[in-house]
Amino acid sequence: SQKIEQNSEALNIQEGKTATLTCNYTNYSPAYLQWYRQDPGRGPVFLLLIRENEKEKRKERLKVTFDTTLKQSLFHITASQPADSATYLCALSATGTASKLTFGTGTRLQVTL
Amino acid sequence: KAGVTQTPRYLIKTRGQQVTLSCSPISGHRSVSWYQQTPGQGLQFLFEYFSETQRNKGNFPGRFSGRQFSNSRSEMNVSTLELGDSALYLCASSDLGGQGYGYTFGSGTRLTVV
């Protein structure tokens, strides 16, 4: 069955450092991979989308890589700030059902001073 | 530009009752999706509507249904509520429905079944 794995343990990082979050998937051929941020009691907020034929995408302090051979995406936040503390979710969708997102369970990021 | 609006924000219902949740997408967005979020299962896709037609459906029982109106507003209905239906129900909208663009989520409706 399809499986999307994110590190369930919280990631604690010092302000100013680069945070790297991992998303691994199995039994899936995604057309798109997306990253969202979610704060407690709120809906997810879209951050970045990367297509299957793209290797890397950047937006300000954020960078996403996508390796379809390893079936893995890495999400980087450079120069982390306490305001970046949140749960980060990866989501995949397949060709033909691109509107149906399958989410990972998320990784909680805590940035400390 | 107003965001995705979900009403009500909180709801308490008794087992066996039915409930209707509402979602108003961003103006101009034709795709509306619904998700259920629980601590144990995370975010799970319920269904997606595009221009009033259900285009994709998740693996939920028939007690969960939805519809979309001509103005793109959407409702989802859960009949014969069970305790396990307690969750945060999230609505998301997109202009093209997943065709290479991200989704905008609402803040959700917190449903508690007692």
- CA–chain centroid gap for A14, Å, is 19
pLDDT tens-place string over residues A71-106: 999 999 999 999 999 999 999 988 777 788 999 999
> How many angstroms separate the CA atoms of B98 and A32, rounded?
9
Contact B11, B114 (CB under 8 A): no
CA distance B55 to chain A (A): 8
Q: Does A40 touch chain B (CB under 8 A)?
A: no
Predicted confidence at residue B97, as pLDDT, reads 61
Predicted confidence at residue A36, as pLDDT, reads 98
Mutation choice for B interface testing from A4, A46, A100, A105 by most B CBs within 10 A: A100
- Residue B58: closest CA among chain A residues belongs to which residue? A100
Least confident among A47-51, B40-44, B93-97: B93-97
pLDDT tens-place string over residues A44-77: 999 999 999 999 999 999 999 999 999 999 999 9
Tell if the CB–CB gap between B107 and A34 is shorter than 8 Å.
no
Query: What 3-state class would DSSP assign to A83?
Result: helix
Q: Which of B12, B26, B22, B23 is nearest to B81 (CA)?
A: B12
Q: Which of B1, B6, B3 is nearest to B35 (CA)?
A: B6
Predicted confidence at residue B114, as pLDDT, reads 98
> How many angstroms separate the CA atoms of A86 and B20, rounded?
30
**Nearest CB partner across the interface for A51, out of B48, B58, B100:** B100
Strands A86-94, A107-112: parallel, antiparallel or unpaired by DSSP?
antiparallel
Tell if the CB–CB gap between A44 and B90 is shorter than 8 Å.
yes
β-pair partners for B6? B23
- C-alpha torsion sign, points B38, B39, B40, B45: positive
Contact B31, B95 (CB under 8 A): yes
CA distance A50 to chain B (A): 8
**How many residues are there in chain B?**
114
